[in-house]
Amino acid sequence: MTDLRNHSRRNFLTRCLTGAVAMGATSLRATGETQAAAAKSRVVVARDPQLRGSGAAAEAGHVDARRLETLLDHAMQSLFNLPATHENSIAAWRRIAGADDSVSLKVNTLGGRGIATNVDLVAAVCERLQQAGVPARNILVWDRDSEEMERAGFRIVIGGDRVQCFGTDRVGYEDDLSAWGSVGSRLSKILTRSSNVLINMPVLKDHDGAGVTIALKNMYGTIHNPNKYHPNGCDPYVADLNMLPEIRSRMKLVICDATTAMYEGGPGFKPEHSWKSNGLLVAQDAVALDFTGWQMIERKRAEMGLKTLEAEQRPPRYIATAADSEHGLGHCDLARIAVVEIQGGAS
Amino acid sequence: MNCELVRAEGGACMALDRRSFLMCALASGAALGAGEFAAPAAASTLTSGAQAQNDAQFTYEAKFYEKQANRKIKCKLCPRECVVGDKERGYCGVRENRGGIYYTLVHSRVCAAHIDPIEKKPLFHYLPGTTAFSIATAGCNVNCKFCQNWDISQSRPEEIPAQYISPHQAADIARKYDCPTIAYTYSEPVVFAEYLMDTADAAHEAGVRSIVVSNGYMQHDSLEQAYGKMDAVKIDLKAYTESYYAKVVTGQLKPVLDSLVTLRKMGKWTEIVYLVVPTLNDDDEEFRGLAAWIKTNLGLDVPLHFTQFHPEYLLKNLPITPVPTLERAKAIADAEGLHYVYIGNVPGHPAQNTYCPQCRKMLVERVGFTASQMLIRKDSTCPYCKHSIPGIWHA
């Protein structure tokens, strides 16, 4: 958070302290938690109905950064089945990265400020990574294009001992192709040269071609030619892209920003088809997370009286493809996914 | 994406200013004039990495699209008919919907320019021995796994350096360097149709002709309007099966066959290239079916070039096409009765030459990309037997 939000080191430490206090006073309850079997992929769905406050504040729609940070801590602790303590909020992150790592956070800013990865959420992740020992200069927040990032509320930061924040347009793509199956693409140099750990930070939204776009499809923002991979509902392109060793070997964590989500009309932002979901989805299995997110969108569609994506002939088939025996990227079978629903928020 | 190679040997790139670019073009022309065959590459990429690109300079409203509800548009340029939402791009990557209006982002945005012998396109029956000022922008409406120029055809315009060359500037350069034609080539001219049309108009005003090297994957109306301005057309017919088009090209065969028939009806001089890829489109029955279709729908006089594949892009696992395979393809097409069947990318092969179908005498001898001997008379007849040889042989 230090660099993204232009806070000083002192402010940063102060924020850590207040964060700890807030967490100590936090209530966390599991609602319908499933006991995860060893073979199951764990997907945490964390919600805070008070994320935007109440009354007029909730109507205004602004997310409370402090509550969001707390929700993130709860989600991470739950992901690794750790008791809710301040120490464990850091311990969870040490399972992802440490002092020797270079971590890149691939956000999604295509939809503009209305449906982009929340800046406060990204700042909270950066803060926790630093607390886990990752030097600020080794953390890089990125997407395809710097201007798109700025439009989504990110401040471009290049150089210095700060968290870096810029798009691939600043450094370009590798000259050589990376290929797997139907995909042959040049990868962002940010991914290949500036990170050994990738944290995938998509948003939760409908997609007129692919059905939904969540974690797996967010990787379209890492390549030079995403336009080539939209036919046939992006299947098998999304799955094949995620098989690229440069992506597969780096992606350690997915944090899906579902504070605002879209059930129809995506991928561009359509306020009339969005809802304040006030949640996060966190997992290490991107396929399981996508499957879970897809079900959430289907439930919202049903609530709004819309047909299923299957009935609209645009189910996200690529999710099953990613889970098939050829790809083996994760699970999309409910029997092999442990969905852990939590409600967390500062009390 | 057409099959004409643009990259320089070894992938060398140069940062060129305007002056350097022209010098490069001149030097290239001189080198080519020397008749050297630099297989498989004989051109250089124009780059201007030192110059910032001003997107507005290249952005024009597209000609071929329909507006739809919710600020969406449907592109009517190629059979893909991309439905594109606001702020999104079509499959080609060079056309963008901005608030319900569809724009081309590559008008005058030239990422490759060179002076080539026309035989390199290849056009064998069109002004042999002349040179073409050859230009391309980024983008393509298919994704051939064997693409030789994938670094420009499969990129978005902002990802590769480019130079602003207006239609009138292109015509001026062609005239300045004694090129009777401008060739739209290297990537896929379908996707820069507006620039192609404006440049063809400017070139015709300046007495310069236009030729296009294309996959022919277009809608009927866009083909008529855009290629109606061309003086000659070379179509890459990638295969004669829909399955190959689906798996290897990411397109469809039928619209390309329809385009060839339309071009025939339009009276455009057309030649066909068929890149023979080992194990994928080298079956005898496919060769026979192709030749029979050409005979029935286009006639016996359409030149057909069977060219040699070299491992590139996503098909690096396959070998170079054996020359006997190409010779077998030619023999099959010859047996069907086609009059002008060539073998390409095999320097020195006798099937690079043009022979009179009546007296069998050699009329045009080619060494690499150079026509070293041209005997066809001004009235387009064989000097030995007076048989009419189809083509545009003299300026």
Pick the closest to residue A207 from A216, A198, A199 (CA basis). A216
- High-pLDDT (> 90) share of chain B, %: 83
CA distances, B163 to each of A85, A96, A168, B137, B152 (Å) = 59, 45, 22, 9, 14
The amino acid sitting at A317 is R
Chain B nearest CA to A182, separation (Å): 9
Best to test chain A binding among B80, B140, B143 (most A CBs inside 10 Å): B143
* CA dist., res. B79 & res. B17, Å (int): 38
ipTM > 0.85 (yes/no): no
Chain A nearest CA to B387, separation (Å): 48
pLDDT confidence of B31, banded at 50, 70, 90?
A: very low
* CA dist., res. B174 & res. B132, Å (int): 8
- Domain with B339 in it: what CATH number? 3.20.20.70
Q: List all residues of chain B from 93 to 122 with a beta carbon under 8 Å from chain A.
A: 93
- Structurally, how many domains does chain B consist of? 2
Give the number of other Cβ atoms within 10 Å of residue A159's Cβ.
8
Task: Give pLDDT, residue A89.
Answer: 87
Pick the closest to residue A224 from A264, A265, A193, A178 (CA basis). A178
Check whether residue B88 and residue B204 sit in a common domain.
Answer: no
Summarize chain B as % helix, strand, coil (round to 5). 30, 25, 45
- Domain residues for the domain of B275 are 9-50+108-374
pLDDT (tens digit per residue) in A166-179 = 999 999 999 999 99
The amino acid sitting at B374 is M
Pick the closest to residue A66 from A109, A14, A114 (CA basis). A14
Contacts of A169 in chain B (CB under 8 A): 158
- Give a yes or no: residue B112 inside a domain: yes
Give the number of other Cβ atoms within 10 Å of residue A147's Cβ.
12
Rounded to 5 degrees, φ, ψ at B132 are -125, 130
- Distance linking the first and last C-alpha atoms of chain A: 23
* Domain boundaries, given as residue ranges, for chain A: 9-346
Alpha carbon of residue A346 to chain centroid: 22
Three-state secondary structure call for residue A74: helix
B181-184/B209-214 β-pairing: parallel
Check whether residue B86 and residue B195 sit in a common domain.
Answer: no
Residue B333 in contact with partner chain A when CB distance is under 8 A: no
* CA dist., res. A140 & res. A156, Å (int): 11
Check whether residue B232 and residue B340 sit in a common domain.
Answer: yes
DSSP designation for A64: -
Query: Contact, A336 vs A62, CB < 8 A?
Result: no
Give the number of other Cβ atoms within 10 Å of residue A146's Cβ.
19
Check whether residue B271 and residue B226 sit in a common domain.
Answer: yes
Contacts of A230 in chain B (CB under 8 A): 91
- Give a yes or no: residue B320 inside a domain: yes
* Mean per-residue pLDDT, B169-198: 98
Q: State which H helix or E strand residue A245 sits in.
A: helix A245-248
pLDDT confidence of B387, banded at 50, 70, 90?
A: very high
Contact B313 A184 (CB under 8 A): yes
Task: Give pLDDT, residue A61.
Answer: 72
Task: Give pLDDT, residue A113.
Answer: 87
User: Using CB atoms, which residue from A110, A179, A267 is nearest to B314?
Assistant: A179
- Give a yes or no: residue B253 inside a domain: yes
The amino acid sitting at B258 is D
Query: Which DSSP string corresponds to B247-300?
Result: IIISS-SHHHHHHHHHHHHHT-EEEEEEEE-TTTS--HHHHHHHHHHHHHHT-T
Q: Which of A169-173, B43-47, B77-81, B314-318 has the lowest mean pLDDT?
A: B43-47
Per the DSSP assignment, residues forming a β-bridge with B269 are: B232
Chain B nearest CA to A338, separation (Å): 36
Q: How many CA atoms lie within 13 A of A217 on its CB side?
A: 29
Check whether residue B76 and residue B43 sit in a common domain.
Answer: no
Residues of A with CB under 8 A from a CB of B: 110, 169, 172-173, 177, 179, 184, 208, 224-225, 227-228, 230-231, 265, 267-268
User: Using CB atoms, which residue from A172, A225, A268 is nearest to B87?
Assistant: A268
Pick the closest to residue A107 from A221, A17, A277, A26 (CA basis). A221
What crossing angle do the helices spanning A86-94 and A65-79 adopt, rounded to 10°?
60
- High-pLDDT (> 70) share of chain B, %: 87
Could you list the beta-strand ranges (E) of chain A. Answer: 26-30, 41-47, 103-107, 139-142, 164-165, 178-180, 183-185, 197-201, 203-207, 211-213, 251-262, 274-275, 279-283, 337-346
Residue B305 in contact with partner chain A when CB distance is under 8 A: no
Chain B nearest CA to A184, separation (Å): 7
Q: Tell me: pLDDT of B29 over 90.
A: no
Contacts of A268 in chain B (CB under 8 A): 85-88
CA angle A185, B160, B216 (to 5 degrees): 75
Pick the closest to residue B132 from B78, B186, B53 (CA basis). B186
pLDDT confidence of B36, banded at 50, 70, 90?
A: very low
CA distances, B55 to each of A302, B108, B150, B159, B162 (Å) = 43, 11, 22, 12, 11
pLDDT (tens digit per residue) in B88-118 = 899 999 999 999 999 999 999 999 999 999 9
Contact A225 B154 (CB under 8 A): yes
Contact A225 B313 (CB under 8 A): no
Check whether residue B165 and residue B288 sit in a common domain.
Answer: yes
Query: Contact, B323 vs B275, CB < 8 A?
Result: no
Contact A267 B85 (CB under 8 A): yes
Check whether residue B212 and residue B309 sit in a common domain.
Answer: yes
Three-state secondary structure call for residue B205: helix
Contact B156 A267 (CB under 8 A): no
Which residues of chain A fall short of a pLDDT of 50? 1-3, 5-37, 347
Check whether residue B72 and residue B163 sit in a common domain.
Answer: no
Q: Tell me which of B9 and B142 has the higher pLDDT.
A: B142
Residue B255 in contact with partner chain A when CB distance is under 8 A: no
Three-state secondary structure call for residue B326: helix
Residue B250 in contact with partner chain A when CB distance is under 8 A: yes
Residue B159 in contact with partner chain A when CB distance is under 8 A: yes
Contacts of A173 in chain B (CB under 8 A): 159
- Give a yes or no: residue B380 inside a domain: no
Cis omega (within 30 of 0) for bond into A135:
no
- Sign of the CA dihedral A275, A277, A280, A281? negative
Q: Tell me: pLDDT of B379 over 50.
A: yes
- Give a yes or no: residue B389 inside a domain: no
* CA dist., res. A315 & res. A12, Å (int): 44
pTM, entire model = 0.84
Contacts of B314 in chain A (CB under 8 A): 177, 179, 184
Chain B nearest CA to A109, separation (Å): 12
